[in-house]
Structure 1
Amino acid sequence: MFGHSGSSRSRVALAGALSVGLAFSLTACGGDKKDDSSGSTDTATSSIDCAQFSQFGDLKGKTVSVYTGIVTPEDAPQKKSYEPFEQCTGVTVKYEGDKSFETQILVRARAGNPPDVAYVPQPGLLKQLVETGKAVEAPAEVATNVDKWFGKDWKAYGTVAGKFYAAPLGANVKSLVWYSPKEFADKGYTVPTTLDQLKELSDKIAATGSKPWCAGIGSGDATGWPVTDWVEDFMLRLSGPEAYDKWVSHEIPFNGAESTAAWNAVGDYLKNDKYVNGGLGDVKSIAGTTFQDAGLQILEGTCSLHRQASFYAANFPANTKIAEDGEIYAFYLPGKDATSKPVLGGGEFVLAFADRPEVKAFQYFLSTDTWANLKAKASSGWVSANKGLKVENLTNPIDQLSAKILQDPSAQFRFDGSDMMPAAIGSNAFWKQATAWISGQDTTTTVNNIETAWPK
């Protein structure tokens, strides 16, 4: 979720796995059927009220440039979802996707050549962009939408130095455990609703002689990041959101009691020879297994549980039924009790570098429930924390599960911690020390090494 972002990880996992194919009917705009990128034509299924854009004046013939790290094939449903806006307003959205977005956007902003709008996948990068002095605060109309459709946690991530700059766009949920519904039904296992129940389930499976968990942390130069997600999830669950925030900002040390407890709790799973690594080897095999491959062992029947984000769905074979009654599904990684709902995840934010009326109108559109529902129908493997998103408009069960988790009134959402830490930690020491830890290094050495690496 970086040099790494939740979105970057999503892009790796989702490549080639998204479907596109919604055509929009614009009854208020006079639009008709549109060809999708595959050349097929779908029946119109959505309409949009064009009157909402009149507050921004006559925008015909204007252009809004968008710069993002969302590239092929994920860019097709993005572009498709803008068509209602373009037909309502007469604005042309000029889309530019770039795999090097996260470095190039800073270069462009500092050089005084930013786009009108950028989709920023990290709160830390958002802060850096605001500090260039080139970004502009979000319009009042966007702030109103965010107050209406998103939780305070999400608005806070788009706020820098007390000023609101960026509305949320997409989201992903990391607090998931993948499993086989058929295996659970056949063996009488039940989905746990507390951390204690998760441990009991793991012990129950281990007692059968099977290894309950499978894991892999291999990811090229980013090897180790799946461990950081585990640690962040347990930091959030064991010590709570406020302590998590202080840990991320280094108000409490990386080798403090809270952090050490989180690492030890993760170790109870990932460094436990009775629990891992189903179908792949012993504990040390985790470091040599790619994150993409690890969860596939559930289909092989050699492990039962795999903790990984919502975007992991893209790694299963195309003919795999991923549903509550399918071969594969996921459940929410529970909190300490059944009432607390800590959620670890990631997402993107819409940051503008211009305040022309057409730019404001486009920002407004992206912050509405209207756009969230159009986008939901346009693609698979996408979800938003927008409370106006109708779960039934999402096209697959994992997206629906993610939306329900994000929309839960008890949800306490926190962004991937390593994405918000200094690069020397979040995309360096944290990953490398996590890998060393999996390979045999003790917890005390691990947390001390990361603490020492924190920039002074």
Structure 2
Amino acid sequence: MRQPLTTVARRARAAAVLCCAVVAVAAAGGCDGADGLGKPFAGQQVEVVGSWTTAEQANFERVLHAFSAQTGARVRYTSGGSDLDVLVSARVGNGTPPDVAMIPQPGVIARYAQTGAAKPVTGAAEQAVRAHFSPQWQRFGSVGDQLYGVYFKAANKSVIWYRTDAFAAAGVTPPATLDELETVSRTLVDSGTAAMTVPGADGWPLTDWFENVYLRLAGPEAYDQLAAHRLPWTDPTVVETLRLMGRYWASPRFLLGGPSGALQTTFTRSVADVFGRRPGSAMLYEADFVATEIAKLDLYQVGAGARYFAWPAATAGGGTAVVAGGDAAVAFTDRPVTMALMAYLASAEAAAIMARRGGFLSVNLDLDPAAYPDATTRALAEDLLRAPTLRFDLSDMTPSGFGGGNGASMWRLLQQYLGAPGTDPAVVAARLEAAASLAYGGM
């Protein structure tokens, strides 16, 4: 059994692994640091592309600057925003790929790996990943038996946020099961507030709803089979999941604005609907990054007036299950400087730079939890490291046309289901299966 390391020992090991990784990668490339400054990649340029903008971009650029200071490499960050895959595909297609791309969908990583555009993580960079990440997170970054992705940023997608004043006024406490969620929701409505805000206009939150209910109802093995399309979307477990979702969405006054109102609600609007100046509902389901949006409103303090509870289990004693997301660093060139950057992104030092600024979760085993700015963020990160059942976002593991891209079939079909209460879930399941068969057949 692996014994826990003290903070000092953990930091010492992390620093040693990072130092050895950079030196080893440099040596493999024939660089001896002859500039006299101990900076093995002085003057070399590296480009990283990602979807982050504004504050997240600025925080990530701090990480890249730290790498530059240690190695002498000049690192440029380019944001592709919500069109990241379009940018990367175009760059790969015209023969000018970025050195590294921060990709949030394992299905997209697999596509680039299968075409040879993505480069395997090997040598000292791979050793850094093996040293700092659990086998589960290593698998999330692998295609077959080969490592391609280094999960620098993670997301906990199995939490429901709520206003403590609304719960206190209704005399309810966070539910532990799906049945209790319905009971709490009904009591909230009876007390005079809508139970839940659903940002249906964006589509992707609806896929997260499905994944959380499905993982709890069908179990991790069926979840894996469905993600790989080894189980059809017409399976009874899918139909039952859709039935439960549809029953909740269609329940009178559960959703703020009803189904039609939910379809007009964006993610940003949904946070204000719960934690803004005129809150209309008591709860909002979405990931840990909701905390950043709550803080921007500056009305409810995260951890006090704004809290979260874990997605309820299907039945009492069902155990904790977490759906995760994340942005993985993927190499598109195999230059020594590229692999040195990959090794650095796998380090606790790099993770700590982002963690200290908030709005960031890491699954690096050697990151000191004290780097996080508050107890809520530490708890959310701990869930990703310790959950007995952990699975990656299912839609992100599918072909982008089905589940992992803007306007994907799964997004669109779940929006249609939300907007048409009373639709037979078996019909929706058949539509999902038809779309999935087309998408997987085209892989």
Q: Tell me the TM-score normalized by structure 1.
A: 0.80
Matching residue's letter, 1:64: V
Matching residue's letter, 1:166: G
Which residue among 258, 270, 290 is the counterpart of 1:294? 270
Q: In 2, Cα distance between the equivalents of 1:256 and 1:237?
A: 16
Q: In 2, Cα distance between the equivalents of 1:113 and 1:301?
A: 48
Match of residue 134 from structure 1: 117
Q: In 2, Cα distance between the equivalents of 1:323 and 1:315?
A: 10
Which residue among 365, 377, 380 is the counterpart of 2:358? 380
Report the 3-state secondary structure (helix = DSSP H, G, I; strand = E; otherwise coil) of the residue aligned with 1:448.
Answer: helix
Match of residue 146 from structure 1: 129
Q: In 2, Cα distance between the equivalents of 1:287 and 1:262?
A: 20
Report the 3-state secondary structure (helix = DSSP H, G, I; strand = E; otherwise coil) of the residue aligned with 1:321.
Answer: coil
Matching residue's letter, 1:67: V
- Note the C-alpha offset of 1:318: 3.0
Match of residue 13 from structure 1: none
Match of residue 152 from structure 2: 169
The alignment of Structure 1 onto Structure 2 pairs a total of residues equal to 400
Matching residue's letter, 2:23: S
Q: In 2, Cα distance between the equivalents of 1:138 and 1:275?
A: 47
Match of residue 41 from structure 1: none
Match of residue 67 from structure 1: 49
Matching residue's letter, 1:428: A
Report the 3-state secondary structure (helix = DSSP H, G, I; strand = E; otherwise coil) of the residue aligned with 2:151.
Answer: strand
**Alpha-carbon spacing, 1:356–1:140, altered in 2? closer, same or farther (3 Å):** same
Report the 3-state secondary structure (helix = DSSP H, G, I; strand = E; otherwise coil) of the residue aligned with 2:47.
Answer: strand
Which residue among 167, 183, 188 is the counterpart of 1:205? 188
- Note the C-alpha offset of 1:209: 5.0
Match of residue 395 from structure 1: 373
Q: In 1, Cα distance between the equivalents of 2:226 and 2:113?
A: 23
Match of residue 432 from structure 1: 412
**Alpha-carbon spacing, 1:73–1:414, altered in 2? closer, same or farther (3 Å):** same
1:359-401 per-residue CA deviation (whole Å, 9 max, x = no partner) reads: 2221111101221112212x32111122223333123555333
Matches within 5 A, 1:108-119: 108-119=91-102
Which residue among 423, 432, 435 is the counterpart of 1:450? 432
Contact 2:207–2:395 (Cα < 8 Å) also in 1 = yes
Matching residue's letter, 1:217: G
Matching residue's letter, 1:163: Q
**Alpha-carbon spacing, 1:269–1:430, altered in 2? closer, same or farther (3 Å):** same
Q: In 1, Cα distance between the equivalents of 2:116 and 2:199?
A: 41
Q: In 2, Cα distance between the equivalents of 1:67 and 1:256?
A: 39
Structure 1 unmatched runs, 5+? 1-46
1:177-209 per-residue CA deviation (whole Å, 9 max, x = no partner) reads: 110123334544222333343333224334435
Structure 2 unmatched runs, 5+? 1-13, 28-32, 34-39
**Alpha-carbon spacing, 1:95–1:209, altered in 2? closer, same or farther (3 Å):** closer
Q: In 2, Cα distance between the equivalents of 1:51 and 1:424?
A: 41
Q: In 1, Cα distance between the equivalents of 2:67 and 2:205?
A: 38
Report the 3-state secondary structure (helix = DSSP H, G, I; strand = E; otherwise coil) of the residue aligned with 1:218.
Answer: helix
- Note the C-alpha offset of 1:81: 1.7
Q: Tell me the TM-score normalized by structure 2.
A: 0.82
Match of residue 23 from structure 2: 54
Match of residue 418 from structure 1: 395
Report the 3-state secondary structure (helix = DSSP H, G, I; strand = E; otherwise coil) of the residue aligned with 1:425.
Answer: helix
Contact 1:85–1:91 (Cα < 8 Å) also in 2 = yes
Match of residue 407 from structure 1: 385
Q: In 2, Cα distance between the equivalents of 1:318 and 1:436?
A: 31
Matches within 5 A, 1:43-442: 51-52=19-20, 53-55=22-24, 56-57=26-27, 58=33, 59-61=40-42, 62-99=44-81, 100-208=83-191, 210-219=193-202, 224-277=203-256, 281-299=257-275, 300-316=278-294, 317-325=296-304, 327-336=305-314, 337-338=316-317, 340-377=319-356, 379-396=357-374, 398-410=376-388, 412-426=389-403, 427-440=407-420, 441-442=423-424
Contact 2:413–2:432 (Cα < 8 Å) also in 1 = yes
Q: In 1, Cα distance between the equivalents of 2:366 and 2:179?
A: 34
Calculate percent identity across the aligned residue pairs: 26
1:66-110 per-residue CA deviation (whole Å, 9 max, x = no partner) reads: 222223332111111233322222222222222332112122223
From the two aligned structures, give the one with the greater helix fraction: 2
- Note the C-alpha offset of 1:282: 2.7
Contact 2:124–2:343 (Cα < 8 Å) also in 1 = yes
Q: In 2, Cα distance between the equivalents of 1:134 and 1:446?
A: 36
**Alpha-carbon spacing, 1:152–1:298, altered in 2? closer, same or farther (3 Å):** same
- Note the C-alpha offset of 1:423: 3.6
**Alpha-carbon spacing, 1:209–1:70, altered in 2? closer, same or farther (3 Å):** closer
